[in-house]
Amino acid sequence: MTSGTKVAPFSLKPWFSERVWGKSDLRPWYDETGTNELVGEAWLTGPQCLVETGPFRGQTLASVGEKIGGEFPLLVKILFPADKLSVQVHPDDAQAKAMGETRGKTECWYVLEADPGATVALGLKPGVGAKEVAASVESGTMETLLEHVPVSVGDMLFVDAGTVHAIGPGVVLLETQQTSDVTYRLYDYGRPRELHLEKGLQVIKPKTQAGKVAPRKMEGFTRLIEQRYFVVDRFELGATKEETVSLDGAGCLVGLTGRGVVRTPDGELELIPGKAVVVPIGDLSVVVETNSEVSFARCVAPV
């Protein structure tokens, strides 16, 4: 993504991904999804998402890539599990390229909702490696090898490539990741879906940097995570507030609570829960105005 391309920020329409572990009702985030099937993920900056404002209105984010300086580097989603996701693993860049993929998939999860006692599975227990994983898949005991991490609203978790992981019901997560959908499913609780055990076992790392990330108070916002592929911050604005928000790389603002307005060189864009305002070039500042309390995430791909 080049910084010399002059493109004003624009809004994207979420794209809803049907999943066997998803929900039929995504309220209060979305009143409707356009499908009667179970929806597990709302893709906020997916390649299929339609541009809603500006000169590219009606086009997909993927199709405007060349016009905005290249493929948008972050895939931001909201996950709505009503059942367990598969136990899975993602390759890093080098592993992905060796397998013929464009890039790997490193991600993070920010907990938006969590039932009491909710957990996620993040990493393998000490001493467990690919051999034990393969045996547990055969015996149906895979879950016993995973580290189960309790989560609460506001937690940020880093999911390093190579980390065996799983998400269960009882949470809603904002996921920020590399623009990649390379997933190797290791175990699926007997559901009749394809497994990718051979590839998955090749990319498993017994120990990674995955885990909870402590928030850091910054000037005017909270830094939730800072990694090679993404930086995610949370802003909390009071009523009748005007805040200048800078982006040091291509990124987006994602509404979490309340309603605000993003002022751009081309006009105003709504900032509402569950939708992304894309800032396709770095070194740009936008002004966020509020009439009530508003919170939003700033997700940026560092240059």
Q: Has 107 been labeled as part of a binding site?
A: yes
Convert the pLDDT of each residue in 142-163 to its tens digit: 999 999 999 999 999 999 999 9
pLDDT number for residue 189 = 92
pLDDT number for residue 117 = 95
The whole-number average pLDDT for the span 224-242 is 95
pLDDT band for position 23 (cuts 50, 70, 90): very high
Final residue of a domain: which of 212, 233, 252? 212
pLDDT number for residue 3 = 42
Query: Percentage of the chain with pLDDT > 70?
Result: 98
User: Is residue 285 over pLDDT 70?
Assistant: yes
pLDDT number for residue 265 = 75
Q: Is the domain of 187 the same as that of 221?
A: no
Q: Has 165 been labeled as part of a binding site?
A: yes
Query: Percentage of the chain with pLDDT > 90?
Result: 90
Q: Is the domain of 77 the same as that of 89?
A: yes
User: Is residue 181 over pLDDT 50?
Assistant: yes
**Active site residues per annotation:** 185
Q: Is the domain of 100 the same as that of 63?
A: yes
Q: Report the alpha-carbon distance of residue 18 to residue 35 in Å, rounded.
A: 8
User: Is residue 199 over pLDDT 50?
Assistant: yes
pLDDT band for position 240 (cuts 50, 70, 90): confident
pLDDT number for residue 267 = 86
Q: Is the domain of 25 the same as that of 163?
A: yes
Indicate whether 52 belongs to any domain.
Answer: yes
User: Is residue 66 over pLDDT 90?
Assistant: no
- The residue segments making up the domain with residue 283 are 216-300
User: Is residue 274 over pLDDT 80?
Assistant: yes
Final residue of a domain: which of 181, 212, 243? 212
- For position 238, which CATH number holds? 2.60.120.10
Convert the pLDDT of each residue in 84-133 to its tens digit: 999 999 999 999 999 999 999 999 999 999 999 999 999 999 999 999 99
pLDDT number for residue 266 = 78
3-class secondary structure per residue, the chain: CCCCCCCCCEEEECEEEEEEEEECCCCCCCCCCCCCCCEEEEECCCCCCEECCCCCCCCECCCCCHHHCCCCCEEEEEECCCCCCCEEECCCHHHHHHCCCCCCCCEEEEEEEECCCCEEEEEECCCCCHHHHHHHHHHCCHHHHEEEEECCCCCEEEECCCCCEEECCCEEEEEEEECCCCCEEEECCCCCCCCCHHHHHHHCCCCCCCEEECCEECCCCEEEEECCCCEEEEEEECCCCEEEEEECCCEEEEEEECCEEEEECCEEEEECECCEEEECCCCEEEEEEECCCEEEEEEECCC
Q: Is the domain of 248 the same as that of 182?
A: no
Q: Is the domain of 139 the same as that of 274?
A: no
The whole-number average pLDDT for the span 54-61 is 96
User: Is residue 5 over pLDDT 70?
Assistant: no
The whole-number average pLDDT for the span 187-191 is 93
Indicate whether 2 belongs to any domain.
Answer: no
Q: Is the domain of 95 the same as that of 222?
A: no
pLDDT band for position 2 (cuts 50, 70, 90): very low
Q: Is the domain of 29 the same as that of 101?
A: yes
Q: Has 90 been labeled as part of a binding site?
A: yes
pLDDT band for position 58 (cuts 50, 70, 90): very high
User: Is residue 4 over pLDDT 50?
Assistant: no
